[in-house]
Structure 1
């Protein structure tokens, strides 16, 4: 591979990584930015409902997928990215043992709670509610006010008690000794 190609590839990964580092915050921002446009500020036609549904599904997938990504540094300083599998990271580097970065139950727990948090944010958004559930009554408004903080506290507690050890795409470990110990 030429040095120019490697430099372009590394810059591309770095830029994408900087964006993904912000996820699911970036995903929620994208949803909050596009939702008023796609829902026509809550006054939906059939096409608006389909477009909003597609947006919700894509953003929900993004929130879950990022829980299964990881990155590591090799001894020569290069950062590699991958998706966790039962055997380690995919795609793997033949020079490094990545079995310590295999898929764990905690990854599914984090993905589940990320999905729940995003679902609450997206499905209880005022524009989404007006679009999909226009007859939501006063009891529903209380539900809209109470559920997000409750889900936030529960999810925050789970994420605090069981933190993820994944660094995600674009967010490699700053501690080279952590990665070096995993490469032995």
Structure 2
């Protein structure tokens, strides 16, 4: 009986009113779909941006230099005393570079010129000989706790790769047990994964040296 009354009520409505209700429902569905699409696009853009930002934080340059020079410095793992000393210096210099480069920054001045600086507690210290940035710009990019966190994390990631390198391991530990060899195989992968996740979870606004920056940065 209720279905019959509802049908009679719909039949009694003008066709224009029914069409308006149908159009309103379609517009609502379109708006909901557009909102869902916008959220999905924002999420994907954020994920891609976080992935691109990793290149600025991970010690890829130091690792590349180390991987190129370590075979020669370690003599392919067959180290003498001089090889051990050279390898230790190589690891130390690359580790220091990883740590110190985390405090560097670059920015665009009013003329759109790319300038390089080092973050300090007072602001930015420009290292390319050009005039200092405006006080508000320098204060906004002063040294922060997150910079020390990134520097320490970059150092840990590099050391997990360098100290567990096959040639370095053979140089300093010529005879390895099975358990030690398994640790040497697992630590670089675990260190890289943990470092990548932490860098993505706690990003930085610094651009370092040699990385392009947008005009609005």
| Length-normalised TM-score, structure 2 | 0.68
Aligned length: 158
Q: Could you tell me which residue of structure 2 aligns to residue 55 of structure 1?
A: 90
Gaps spanning 5+ residues in structure 2: where?
1-55
Aligned 8 A contact 1:71 1:168 in 2: yes
**1:145 partnered with 2:180:** no
Equivalent position of 1:123 in the other structure:
163
- Is residue 105–residue 119 contact of structure 2 (8 Å, CA) maintained in 1? yes
Change (3 A) 1:43 1:94: closer
5+ residue gaps, structure 1: 1-20, 179-184
Give SS of 1:177's match: coil
- Tell me how far apart the structure 2 counterparts of residues 48 and 35 of structure 1 sit (CA, whole Å): 10
Please state which structure has a larger fraction of its residues in helix.
2
SS at match of 1:41: helix
With over 3 angstroms needed to count, the CA separation of the structure-2 counterparts of 1:77 and 1:47, relative to structure 1, is: same
Aligned-residue CA RMSD (Å): 2.0
- How far does the alpha carbon of each residue in 1:123-176 deviate from its partner, in whole angstroms, 9 at most, with x for none? 0001000101112211101111222222222211110110121011222521x3
Please tell me whether residue 25 in structure 1 is matched to residue 60 in structure 2: yes
Which position in structure 2 is the counterpart of 1:80? 115
Query: Contact between 2:104 and 2:119, CA under 8 Å: does it hold in 1?
Result: yes
- Alignment partner, residue 134 of structure 2: 96
Q: Deviations over 1:21-80 (max 9, x none)?
A: 797212211111110101011111100001001100111111111110001111112221
CA separation of 1:87/1:22 partners in 2, compared to 1, >3 Å: closer, same or farther? closer
Is the contact between residue 27 and residue 59 of structure 1 (CA under 8 Å) also seen in structure 2? yes
1:106 Cα offset (Å): 0.8
Q: 2:71 aligns with which of 33, 36, 50?
A: 36
Aligned residue for 1:144, secondary structure, equals helix
